[in-house]
């Protein structure tokens, strides 16, 4: 008889051969909180022992020990097949315990163990709920929670606190009650990021301004209804209210296309002066920047301006007050010019402090017949060089078509594998389309964990499949809520959600290359790998589209805080992973070059062109300038040269500028206003001069 079967209580003191083997293959476990703790075999043995006691009303230490040996044997096999230094999670070990009990015909003990496990989980959940309420409130009030800054447009405010609290509850509901455990775990472990978990709604949407003009604002039961606007002043107020209302039913950007084309007939019909048009446009711009949506935010809005009337609208009768007029949109070019001119002037002036307006984000369609030397073009590029407000859409040298903005709702989908373009740029959407959900894949984590290309793409497959599943689940949920009336205005103005995309994006291709290949995306090897990954992802999205019948697209998702969240999590989990940033880790957006890689715009364009054109969702090429471009002509020539020689679909110029509360706009990064400094120095000189004069008088009096 073995001495340890006579004195089983010695086991924990003396240890066993099995314990020695365990030490050689496992030292740590990952707790549910994400913390790393020392592995302790006794806890497994104790839990199994309690389950045996609960069933048989007496303990059986030998049996518990033998079953624990089998648990460790399976754990050893599983860990051997994983990457070196991998650490098992508590849940993984508990799952193995359940399997071992069932395989060894310990069915009643397995039931008791499952109940024991569920009971402990319920206790933990109760404690966690109380803890999370405190953490949520304190985290916001102390501004220490990363989610406080998740959206760059939400200020620290009471409305922000309410949104933060409700958002935390909603996010937990998505993760714990709707998505599968596998999907929730992938998000929690930062394998990917599910966007807008704090909102029970779709992501972004494009609306038909023509529909609003023809039908008016309303038509929702028990809500005020307004007839179609007959005058521009009425229409701009309806537009502000429309976007404000719809923003409350969506998480992200709301867009109108052909802003100038559809507004021009109102100017022509009433023979409005430029000053009268300017008053209306100012009313629209100031109204849209009022924080009227949840969280004390202004509605996130985008407008597309055609500049010249699109071919598909030129011969269509203009609509004002819900009725067709005796002239066409093509007859209103002069009025379009007035609208563009006063809109740019309003944006150039900024608010009363000289601060540039955040909304609407204007996207300008640059076509082959764009007049680069007109007075309006001068104003446009002055605005661009000063504030960097506009986005430019390339219709000169890309596969985009201006008429596509209105064709999505009636386009026949003959090729189910063809990936459609959402249109509208990073923050816009064509009419009656948009995106219901967005998931961003954490590429650096894949690059760090994979030992070879086969592993890399296998891991990417797994995460893309999970992302697809999560997006399909979200679509079903949103469709059910849409049918049930939770989004009354969306249902009134949008007849179907079938034209809205499931969006998958990526983050940190540069850091992925550094971790996986040992080189950055700026190298030829890194760029070629990035191109292969994008092509691979596109093909997989085509498969999803073909199988599900739902629209999918690939987007260079604007990371905002996502790049920080993913990098911060990875740095805690894998201390030697390569990230960007010294004090605060982050990942470079999508497939962009490292921030400080080059100041040569054309070097960056040469690198980025083949990557940017592979996206079918939102993407934009940013040109970051240290200060204002002094000459509008230089800014104009830069955009013209880029669009004539590159297939980059979207472009924006971002000059650095500062705002002084007294003097308003200042070019470049200014930590102290030079005008205020000069005034202080002048006053100081005057004061010194007076003191010198008084001193001279005193000396003379002596």
676-691 pLDDT tens trace: 777 777 778 878 888 8
Task: Please give, one letter per residue, the 3-state secondary structure of 454-472.
Answer: HHHHHHHHHHHHHHHHHHH
Nearest to 234 by CA among 258, 211, 213: 213
**Helix (H), strand (E) at residue 324:** strand 323-328
The SS3 of residue 382 is helix
Q: What is the DSSP string of 624-670?
A: EESS--S-HHHHHHHHHHHHHH---SEEEEEE-EEEETTTEEEES--
> Could you count the other beta carbons within 10 Å of the beta carbon of residue 6?
8
Q: Which two tokens stand for residue 473?
A: 């689940």
Separation CA 338–CA 461 (nearest Å): 52
Mutual angle of helices 107-141 and 158-173, in 10-degree steps: 170
Burial 14-48 (b: 16+ CB within 10 A, else e): eebebbeebeeebeebbeeeeeeeebebeebbebb
Separation CA 650–CA 643 (nearest Å): 9
Residues of the chain with pLDDT under 50: 1-24, 131, 406-416, 422-428
Q: pLDDT at position 4, please?
A: 40
Nearest to 251 by CA among 172, 350, 154, 177: 154
The CA distances from residue 153 to 164, 361, 428, 560, in Å, are 13, 13, 16, 11
**The tokens 């314990």 sit on which residue?**
19
Nearest to 239 by CA among 251, 249, 226, 252: 226
Q: Count CA within 13 A, CB hemisphere, residue 52.
A: 21
Separation CA 361–CA 251 (nearest Å): 16
Separation CA 406–CA 329 (nearest Å): 15
Q: pLDDT at position 19, please?
A: 43
The CA distances from residue 283 to 197, 232, 236, 266, 277, in Å, are 34, 11, 7, 16, 10
Separation CA 584–CA 570 (nearest Å): 12
**The tokens 């300017």 sit on which residue?**
278
Please provide residue 198's backbone torsions phi and psi, each rounded to the nearest 5 degrees: -75, -5
Separation CA 503–CA 429 (nearest Å): 13
Sign of CA dihedral 407, 410, 416, 422: positive
Instruction: Provide CB contacts within 8 A for 273, sequence distance 6+.
Output: none
CB 175 within 8 A of CB 223: no
Q: What is the DSSP letter of 310?
A: -
- Determine if the pTM surpasses 0.85: no
């Amino acid at each position: 008889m073995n001495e340890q079967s006579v004195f089983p209580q010695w086991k924990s003191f003396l240890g066993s051969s099995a314990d020695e083997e365990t030490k050689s293959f496992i030292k740590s476990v990952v707790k549910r909180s994400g913390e790393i703790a020392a592995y302790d075999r006794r806890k497994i043995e104790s839990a199994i022992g309690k389950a045996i006691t609960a069933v048989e009303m007496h303990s059986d230490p030998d049996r518990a020990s033998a079953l624990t040996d089998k648990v460790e044997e399976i754990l050893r096999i599983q860990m051997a097949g994983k990457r070196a230094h991998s650490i098992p999670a508590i849940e993984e070990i508990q799952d193995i315990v359940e399997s071992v009990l069932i395989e060894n015909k310990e069915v009643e003990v397995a039931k008791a163990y499952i109940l024991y496990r569920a009971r402990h989980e319920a206790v933990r959940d109760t404690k966690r709920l109380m803890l999370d309420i405190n953490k949520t409130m304190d985290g916001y009030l102390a501004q220490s929670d990363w989610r406080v800054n998740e959206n760059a447009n939400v200020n620290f405010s009471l409305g922000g606190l309410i949104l933060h609290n409700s958002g935390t509850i909603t996010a937990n509901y998505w993760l714990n009650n709707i998505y599968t455990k596998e999907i929730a775990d992938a998000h929690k472990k930062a394998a990917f990021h599910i966007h807008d978990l704090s909102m029970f709604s779709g992501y972004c949407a494009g609306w038909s301004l023509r529909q609003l003009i023809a039908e008016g604002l309303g038509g929702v039961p028990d809500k005020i209804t307004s007839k179609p606007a007959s005058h521009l002043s009425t229409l701009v107020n309806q537009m502000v209210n429309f976007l404000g209302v719809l923003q409350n039913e969506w998480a992200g950007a709301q867009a109108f296309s052909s802003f100038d084309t559809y507004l021009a007939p109102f100017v022509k019909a009433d023979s409005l002066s430029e000053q009268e048009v300017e008053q209306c446009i100012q009313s629209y711009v100031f109204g849209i920047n009022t924080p009227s949506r949840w969280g004390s935010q202004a509605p996130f809005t985008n407008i597309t301006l055609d500049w010249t009337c699109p071919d598909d609208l030129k011969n269509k009768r203009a609509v004002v007050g819900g009725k067709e007029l005796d002239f066409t949109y093509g007859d209103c070019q002069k009025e379009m010019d007035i609208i563009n001119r006063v809109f740019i002037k309003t944006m150039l002036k900024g608010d009363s402090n000289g601060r540039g307006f955040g909304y609407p984000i204007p996207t300008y369609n640059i076509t082959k017949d764009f007049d680069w030397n007109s007075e309006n073009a001068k104003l446009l590029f002055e605005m661009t060089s000063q504030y960097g407000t506009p986005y430019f859409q390339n219709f000169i040298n890309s596969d985009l078509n201006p008429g596509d903005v209105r064709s999505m709702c009636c386009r026949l989908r003959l090729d189910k594998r063809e990936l459609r373009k959402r249109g509208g740029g990073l923050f816009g959407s064509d009419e009656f389309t948009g995106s219901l959900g967005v998931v961003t894949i954490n590429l650096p984590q894949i690059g760090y964990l994979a030992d070879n290309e086969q592993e890399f793409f296998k891991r990417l497959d797994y995460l893309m499949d999970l992302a697809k599943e999560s997006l399909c689940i979200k679509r079903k949920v949103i469709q059910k809520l849409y049918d049930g009336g939770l989004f009354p205005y969306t249902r009134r103005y949008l007849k179907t959600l079938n034209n809205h995309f499931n969006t998958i994006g990526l983050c940190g291709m540069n850091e992925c290359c550094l971790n996986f290949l040992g080189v950055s995306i700026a190298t030829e090897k890194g760029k070629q790998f990035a191109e292969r990954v994008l092509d691979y992802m596109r093909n997989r999205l085509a498969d999803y589209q073909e199988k599900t019948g739902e629209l999918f697209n690939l987007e260079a998702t604007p990371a905002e805080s996502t790049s920080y969240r993913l990098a911060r999590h990875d740095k805690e989990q894998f201390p030697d992973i390569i990230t960007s940033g010294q004090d605060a880790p982050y990942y470079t957006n999508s497939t962009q070059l490292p921030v400080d890689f080059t100041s040569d715009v054309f070097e960056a364009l040469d690198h980025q062109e083949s990557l940017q054109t592979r996206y079918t969702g939102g993407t934009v090429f940013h040109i970051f300038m240290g200060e204002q471009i002094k000459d509008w002509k230089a800014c104009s020539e830069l955009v013209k040269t880029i669009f004539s020689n590159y297939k980059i679909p979207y472009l924006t110029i971002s000059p650095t500028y500062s705002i002084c509360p007294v003097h308003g706009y200042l070019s470049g990064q200014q930590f102290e206003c030079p005008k205020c400094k000069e005034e202080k120095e002048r006053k100081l000189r005057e004061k010194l001069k007076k003191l010198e004069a008084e001193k001279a008088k005193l000396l003379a009096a002596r």
